[in-house]
Structure 1
Amino acid sequence: MRAAGKETVPAKRLPTLEDVAARAGVSRATASRVVNADPRVGQAAREAVQASIRDLGYRPNRAARSLVRPDADSIAVVVPEAEERVFSDPFFSAILGAIYTKLADSPVQVLLAVAPPGKRDKIDRYLRGGYTDGAIVVSHHRDDGITDVLREIQLPAVYIGRPHAGDVGLPYVDVDNVTGGMLAAQRLIDGGRRRIGTVAGPQDMASGYDRLTGWRRAMTHAGLADDLVEYGDFTAASGGEKMLRLLEREPNLDGVFAASDLMAVSVIQELQGRGISVPEDVAVVGFDDSQMAKLTRPPLTTVLSTTSGMASTAVEMLLTLLKGQQVEHVILPTELIPRDSA
């Protein structure tokens, strides 16, 4: 291996494989073998080329790759969330499980790229590195920067959940969150509840914003006040914390819509811990219809989120894109799942 060079890439052009090889101090052929995961390359050379790829922001030419390998062999599931949340929240395990199941009989490998919104460099470098043929983005936040990267590098991608900015030129699959929020509120209204609050989801995510929009519509239509809003982040901890805040603001609260089942379970626990009976004193409705909704006491009335349906549809959409075909946005219907908490 030649001594590492210090060549720089001329301004205003994308780095090439030659640039990568020069910076790493190897031949173009060796750099190409590393990009194509050839096991015959030695560890030192491989690490030098990989470092060069990261430093230069090099991304292999997809058209050239397809001449050698016409079929996709990997897709990335991109999650701009903290690792501890991804591996503890049932929503993500359900999404990942459904994606793996959908691809179980396929040669396509599934890769996981995780980083919190404030540390996007890790995902940014990965996507630009050319290590995957396509991406499924889950739990997108307004300012996570992923949309800009995907559009810039033109990587085939599908969002699970509507992008917060609306139509950004990338396809998505989602549930009808606005209607879901309305169904949750209407369940409480039809049950005779009149002082109804909500633990809403984060407003930098379309799902949080849309579910709150639906709740407000139903409340307004019924002539009820929609001022009792506290903002959580879909986690259990935020559900309990915001429930306490609602009780401080309105001791006569008699109904709560929590924008995720995880928050709703904590809402119920917080109420019961204070001697408040569910649903006799306060009725509670969640959103997702996760497994835990059936395990709470009382069982949780919730809104169906069709998590597995979104994941399966996203895989189908991405595979279609990888064949060079276009896809349209998909909105899946939702419904109320009545149980005993409301």
Structure 2
Amino acid sequence: MQVRRPTLEAVAARAGVGRGTASRVVNATGNVSQKSRRAVLRAVAELGYVPNPAARALVRRRTDTLAFVVAVSQERVFWEEPYFSAIVRGVHTGISGTGLQLLLAIAHSPQEHAQLTNYLTARHVDGVLLSSLRGDDPMPRHLHEAGLPTVMVGAPTGFHPEYGVDLDNHQGARLAVHHLTSRGRRRIATITGPLDTRAGTDRLEGWRTALTDTGLRTDLTAHGDFTAASGAHAMRELLTRAPELDAVFTASDSMAIGALRVLKESGRRIPHDVAVVGFDDSPLATDTDPPLTSIHQPLENMGHHMAHLMIAQLRQEPITQPHITLQPHLVTRHST
């Protein structure tokens, strides 16, 4: 014989209050007198009442779910770049114990992007954590118009999120160049990230500023998209244009891997002939041959800060620092 679950009506009757009052107590919405609250909570305990999650979500207009949105291919998320998994770990740690669940959403093609935007703006989640947006991506504007709490890590060029976490990418690039010049390198090239992202432009400008400060040439640039394939293509271009280069700063570890492969194929010894510095200090950096000197990004810490900015928005708590910029540092290995 199936035992029926106690209903909210039964709780209200046992407590001697109306159903609306019982609902406000159970769902923590609205004002209720202390006497009524105690009566309802006592009735809940006596009857063993358990709220229906779907009904509760409708009443509270909450799903207890956050979406972490990545606007790149699945291959980059799961296989090529540890960047994303590290940030997700940080977010997950940050929301631990809050009752919030994390949904990973990947939108690479225009169709996927449009479908995901519609899903998010229909309020199927309580908030959105955005990563790797490019150029004039309309998603942040749509989320803002829908009133959906949003936190961004990094940002497209020219876009200023209301709440965001980032790294001082300009300083990271300067650290890389200063390290190379301290080792006697004078013909220092760079492989940039996408220049419609703030990370891409800031790392390029940091490289250029550091070289200008020391009177070195700033025309040895080739463009990539943070992938190993783009790093290899850019390295071939640089060797064709400037075969005498003696160092290269790549704007990601993944691009450094492609660059290292091409340098070896060309017969260059690393670091004897060409020194290489990456950016991220990802697990990839310790698996290269030789191990890669890289600029460290505190990715898990960045994800942790994203989570706290989101939680503060959902709880309508005052936020004194809506934009958080973390500092990088150099990790030296055998590629320099």
Match of 2:323 among 306, 313, 329: 329
Name the SS for the 1:287 alignment partner.
Answer: strand
Question: Deviation digits for residues 96-119 of structure 1, max 9, x if unmatched?
Answer: 222223334332111122112644
User: What corresponds to 1:302 in structure 2?
Assistant: 294
What is the CA-CA distance between 1:172 and the residue it aligns to? Answer: 0.5
What is the CA-CA distance between 1:180 and the residue it aligns to? Answer: 0.4
CA distance in 2, matches of 1:326, 1:229: 44
Match of 1:140 among 129, 133, 140: 133
Match of 1:259 among 246, 251, 255: 251
Match of 1:83 among 62, 74, 78: 74
What is the CA-CA distance between 1:325 and the residue it aligns to? Answer: 2.5
Match of 2:104 among 106, 112, 137: 112
Larger Rg: 2
With 298-307 and 106-115 compared, the bigger mean Cα shift is at: 106-115
**1:158 has 2:190 as partner:** no
User: What corresponds to 1:124 in structure 2?
Assistant: 117
CA distance in 1, matches of 2:227, 2:127: 29
Name the SS for the 2:334 alignment partner.
Answer: coil
The verdict on how the C-alpha distance between 1:117 and 1:161 changes in structure 2, with shifts beyond 3 A counting, is: farther
What is the CA-CA distance between 1:150 and the residue it aligns to? Answer: 1.6
Question: Deviation digits for residues 19-55 of structure 1, max 9, x if unmatched?
Answer: xxxxxxxxxxxxxxxxx9849xxxxxxxxxxxxxxxx
- Structure number with greater CO (CA < 8 Å, separation at least 6) is 2
Aligned residues: 281
Name the SS for the 1:167 alignment partner.
Answer: coil
User: What corresponds to 1:340 in structure 2?
Assistant: 334
Name the SS for the 2:195 alignment partner.
Answer: coil
Question: Deviation digits for residues 138-166 of structure 1, max 9, x if unmatched?
Answer: 11212221121121111111001144224
Cα pair 2:212 2:218 within 8 Å, conserved:
yes
**1:196 has 2:183 as partner:** no
User: What corresponds to 2:89 in structure 1?
Assistant: 97
Give me the TM-score of the superposition, normalised by structure 1. Answer: 0.78
Cα pair 1:94 1:307 within 8 Å, conserved:
yes
User: What corresponds to 2:15 in structure 1?
Assistant: none
User: What corresponds to 2:219 in structure 1?
Assistant: 227
Cα pair 2:166 2:325 within 8 Å, conserved:
yes
**1:316 has 2:308 as partner:** yes
Cα pair 1:117 1:144 within 8 Å, conserved:
no
User: What corresponds to 1:178 in structure 2?
Assistant: 170
CA distance in 1, matches of 2:204, 2:115: 32
Q: CA RMSD in A?
A: 2.0
CA distance in 2, matches of 1:37, 1:199: 50
- Identity of matched residues, %: 41
Amino acid in the other structure paired with 2:329: E
CA distance in 2, matches of 1:265, 1:82: 19
Question: Deviation digits for residues 157-195 of structure 1, max 9, x if unmatched?
Answer: 100114422434x21011100000111111111111111
Cα pair 2:63 2:124 within 8 Å, conserved:
no
